[in-house]
Chain A
Amino acid sequence: SQQGEEDPQALSIQEGENATMNCSYKTSINNLQWYRQNSGRGLVHLILIRSNEREKHSGRLRVTLDTSKKSSSLLITASRAADTASYFCATEDYGNNRLAFGKGNQVVVIP
């Protein structure tokens, strides 16, 4: 079953604006990861946040994790046309060797 559930499903923004996506999950986790996928190709790892971390930054990306609410958000600042892609959150559970992916957010950045 799908662990993560992103919200919103699709987002269309102007270049330069910020894009925010949310993800919720159901069980205890080791970590939560965000991936990007362009046009049905392979996934690219963006950022990993551990269960004992609350916020993490990587370049224009900012991820937050609230384990009490079992939710995470991904913020892309100053978006670019090249950020157009689908974004997936994935959780890694304690004792498992698998990533459980959400359904993904499609982000379109209009130049």
Chain B
Amino acid sequence: KAGVTQTPRYLIKTRGQQVTLSCSPISGHRSVSWYQQTPGQGLQFLFEYFSETQRNKGNFPGRFSGRQFSNSRSEMNVSTLELGDSALYLCASSLVRGVDTEAFFGQGTRLTVV
């Protein structure tokens, strides 16, 4: 079956702009999580959605938001972009979460803010 699909793969944005990233989970998976990966901070949890509800949120400012649709596809939005938002954004899907299940990751969206 198809894996986790993230679009776009690469993005270049200017400071102050906003950006929307998309994630299509594996068919049947209801949990979608987002992570930010930077050389300095490593992999940091952004938020997790399950059945269109945000169940958990990491320590990121309110400029970072997300949502999940009824088909489990998820989007994350970053408003008022800053240079420090440049990162690889990874989406992971699971059947469920919190019950010893593995996460399947997409290839990520590489965001560069200039």
- Taking Cβ atoms with an 8 Å cutoff, the residues of A that contact B are 2, 30-31, 33, 35, 40-45, 48, 50, 88, 90, 92, 95-104
Contacts and interface: CB of A to CB of B under 8 A. Distances in A.
Q: Determine the interface band of chain B, counting residues with CB < 8 A from chain A.
A: 20 to 34
Nearest to B33: A98
Contact of B100 (A2, A40, A92, A103): A92
Interface of B: 4, 31, 33, 35, 37, 42-45, 48, 50, 55-56, 58, 88, 90, 92, 97-98, 100, 102-108, 110
B90 A98 contact: no
A30 B50 contact: no
B100 A42 contact: no
B42 A103 contact: yes
